[in-house]
Every structure is written in structure tokens, then in C-alpha cells.
Homo-oligomer: A and B are copies of this chain.
Amino acid sequence: MKLFHTADWHLGKLVQNVYMTEDQAYVLEQLLRDIETEKPDAVIIAGDLYDRAVPPTEAVQLLNRILKTVVVDLRTPVLAVSGNHDSPSRLNFGSDIMKSAGLHMCGEFDCAFEPVVLRDEFGPVHFYLVPFADPATVRHALQQEDISSYDDAMRAVVERIKPRMSPGARNVFIGHAFVTKGGGAEPNTSDSERPLAIGGAEHVSSAHFGCFDYTALGHLHQAHHVGVETVRYSGSPLKYSISEEKHDKGYLIVELDKDGKATFTKKPLAPLRDMRTVEGYIEEIERQERSDDYIYVRLLDELPVLSPMERVRAVYPNAMHVGQNSVLQHLSGSAEQAEGGGKAGMDMLSLFRSFYKDAKGADVSEETEQLFLQVLREIDREEGERHEAHQADDDGVRAV
């Protein structure tokens, strides 16, 4: 049986206030063409189809169009679970009605653990669709008081599935979780993966999945296997953060032979615009070839560059961020921008004194220092308020 395994589409995603919809449609069109050519027996989407509980209508229309093409036009079953970014009940809408047409969408956590059964020439393959759920939801659904972590929850879920597994069938688990070898913490995460819990309690041990022939995971955006070859993340089809710059994005083709032995092919998807870092002096950058990529620029100039985004966008119209390395930037308090600067680590007032002396050749007066500190406090307060307002916006639409 040939399966396509993908996850973490994050439709409706904004990166630096830019909607990724066009970029998402571009890679998903490639996926559609591959489905048409490769004719897989099913397409697995392991959670985070949307980026938020109430996605914008463009994202709803895009997902609708893609699923309709796969299920109705290409007659390929889709097996999907909701991730921590999706709204369980919104994604679940119509799922019982769509089953008969081949769309198996498991939005809400349900302890029935009834597998979706597909068949090939070697017999049935049982798919267990387990959407993202926090420990409290699983504890309540399974009526099992000893569940307090994500790892407890997953162990309990798999323990419930085991006695239902049919000995003659091959078995595939589809889930959305932070799975690591033995459940330990891993450093290789991306800024675009929202943490599930604070401080390590989000990790799930890969050891739980030993009873499945294949475990198709979503949540982590880099394609990789965990512990064994058969427990895998497909990764996201696009880079959603500059911390994913070095990822090779795409999806997996998984082939299960008659005994359930899986072989893997990683298939790349070409982005409409790449996401990458460019480091250099502003005058070098201005001589570069024009590019529509989403570029994060790190300026090496010692002296502050005026209107840097304007100058950078003449070459990189979709530049997403410009970081400056100059002393002036240190004053803005951005840790990222301060990286590599010789004066990193100095406090604001010391930096200001040093800058003033460099610029004016004299020590700063007491009055000017007070004025500087007052401005700093105002900036701090405004940033705090902006941050709070942003958090409040966020909480209104997010499931977790």
C-alpha cells in the first residue's frame, strides 16, 4: 500500500504579517499533481491543517478546494486528524457525512478508536486516527485518573487501541504530538511550532508506537524519524519561520509491503518563494540580484544604516526583516539584533553613554541621561501594551 504522509499545512498562516496562502496553494498544487501521477492508496494529513481555530476564509476555500480535488476528482481517500492549531469541533464538522466519500477527518478526540480500514491486494490496513488532545481531555474521555502528562495520555491511548488491533491487519497510527526518543527533551524545534506545555511535559516517548507498522506524525516541522525508522514526521510543506531555513521541505511516500514493512521516499516540494537569511554590508546587498524570496537580512555595517528596509526592498521586495549590527541598534534592546556586536551585554545606559561619547566627543549630561531613561521607559511601556493586546487577540482564536 502506497501512502502519502504530510502534515502541518498551517493554512491561514501569517509570517511577519504576510499571508502564506499563495505560497501554500503553490506547494499543494504540486502535491495534487503527484497524487495524480503516483496514485497513492491514501493521503495522510497529520494535523495542523489550519494555523488557527478560526482561519480566514481564503484558508477555508483553499483547504476545501484541495480536499475536494483529492477525494472527489482523484478518488483518493484522505485520513486527517486535527492538530493543536486546529479547532477540534470546527474541523470535525461534516466528518460523518464525508466518510462515505473517502474523507476521514478526525477532529474531536473520541475514545472509540474505531480504525479506518483500507485494503490493497495483500489485505486490510487499519488506520488509527488520534487527533491532538491535551492530558485533561484524554483523562476525561478515558476516565483514567492517572493521566497527567502528554506521555501518560499517549500511553493510555495506545493501551486502549492494542486489544482492538486485528492480528491479520497491518496497522498505522496517525497522530499529532511532540514525540521524542524515550520522551526526552530535544533542542531541534522551530519557532513556528507552538509549545504544547511549559517545561518538558509535552514530550511523548516514541517507544509507545512499537505495535504499529507505521506511525505518521505531525507537529514538528522538520522531516525526521524518531528512534526507529517507522515513527516519522513528514515535516511541513513550507518553511514557516526563519528557524526552518535549513529544512528540506516536502512530504513522504511510505510503502507498506504485505508484511507491513515500510520503505520511505522523501519527496521535495519547491516553494514559490524560499525563506532564507542574507548577511552582508548594505552596499553589497544592493548589488545582489533581485529576488522575490522571503529574506531575513542581517546587516554587518558598523554604522547605522538609515531606512534599511526601504533600501533592502529595492532588491528583495519580500524581505521580511532587517537586523542591524550597529551600536544604535543595541540601544533598541533587541537581543537578536545585538548578536555579534562588540558591545553586546552592556546595559542601555552604558551603551548610550558610549555612543554619545563616540558621536559628540564629550560625556553625556545628567539632564540628557534622565531624558534618555524617560524615553526608554516609555518605549518599554508601549511595547508591553502592544504585546498584551497581541496576546489577547491571539487567545480569542486559538484552541490551545
Residue numbers of A with Cβ under 8 A of B are 54, 57, 60-61, 63-64, 67-68, 71-72, 87, 89-90, 92-98, 100-103
Which one of B68, B89, B96, B102 lies within 8 Å of A61 (CB-CB)?
A: B89
Is the Cβ of B93 less than 8 Å from the Cβ of A60? yes
Is the Cβ of A60 less than 8 Å from the Cβ of B72? no
Is the Cβ of B94 less than 8 Å from the Cβ of A98? yes
Is the Cβ of A97 less than 8 Å from the Cβ of B98? yes
Is the Cβ of B97 less than 8 Å from the Cβ of A71? yes
Using Cβ atoms and an 8 Å threshold, which residues of chain B touch A103?
94, 97
Using Cβ atoms and an 8 Å threshold, which residues of chain B touch A64?
89, 92-96
A-B pairs with beta carbons under 8 Å apart, 17 shown = A54-B54, A57-B87, A57-B90, A60-B90, A61-B89, A61-B92, A64-B89, A64-B93, A64-B94, A67-B94, A72-B96, A72-B97, A72-B100, A93-B93, A93-B94, A94-B94, A98-B101
Using Cβ atoms and an 8 Å threshold, which residues of chain B touch A102?
97
Is the Cβ of B100 less than 8 Å from the Cβ of A57? no
Bound together, the chains give a CA A52 to CA B280 distance in angstroms of 51
Classify the interface of chain A: helix, strand, loop or mixed: helix
Stoichiometry (number of copies): 2
Bound together, the chains give a CA A104 to CA B230 distance in angstroms of 41
Output the nearest chain B residue to A90 by Cβ-Cβ distance: B60
Using Cβ atoms and an 8 Å threshold, which residues of chain B touch A100?
72, 100-101
Least Cβ distance of A78 to chain B in Å? Answer: 9
Using Cβ atoms and an 8 Å threshold, which residues of chain B touch A95?
64
Bound together, the chains give a CA A366 to CA B63 distance in angstroms of 68
Least Cβ distance of A380 to chain B in Å? Answer: 28
- The 6 A-B pairs of least Cβ separation, nearest first, read A68-B96, A57-B89, A94-B94, A97-B101, A97-B98, A100-B101
Least Cβ distance of A61 to chain B in Å? Answer: 5
- Chain B CB count within 10 A is highest, among A67, A72, A90, for A90
Bound together, the chains give a CA A68 to CA B100 distance in angstroms of 12
Bound together, the chains give a CA A381 to CA B297 distance in angstroms of 48
Output the nearest chain B residue to A71 by Cβ-Cβ distance: B97
Bound together, the chains give a CA A87 to CA B102 distance in angstroms of 25
9 extra A-B contacts, CB within 8 A, seeds A60-B93, A72-B97, A94-B94: A54-B54, A60-B89, A64-B89, A64-B94, A68-B94, A71-B97, A72-B96, A72-B100, A98-B101
Bound together, the chains give a CA A342 to CA B54 distance in angstroms of 51
Least Cβ distance of A229 to chain B in Å? Answer: 34
Bound together, the chains give a CA A309 to CA B94 distance in angstroms of 42
- Chain B CB count within 10 A is highest, among A64, A68, A97, A102, for A97
Least Cβ distance of A118 to chain B in Å? Answer: 17
Least Cβ distance of A335 to chain B in Å? Answer: 34
Bound together, the chains give a CA A61 to CA B54 distance in angstroms of 15
Bound together, the chains give a CA A209 to CA B125 distance in angstroms of 53
Bound together, the chains give a CA A68 to CA B92 distance in angstroms of 11
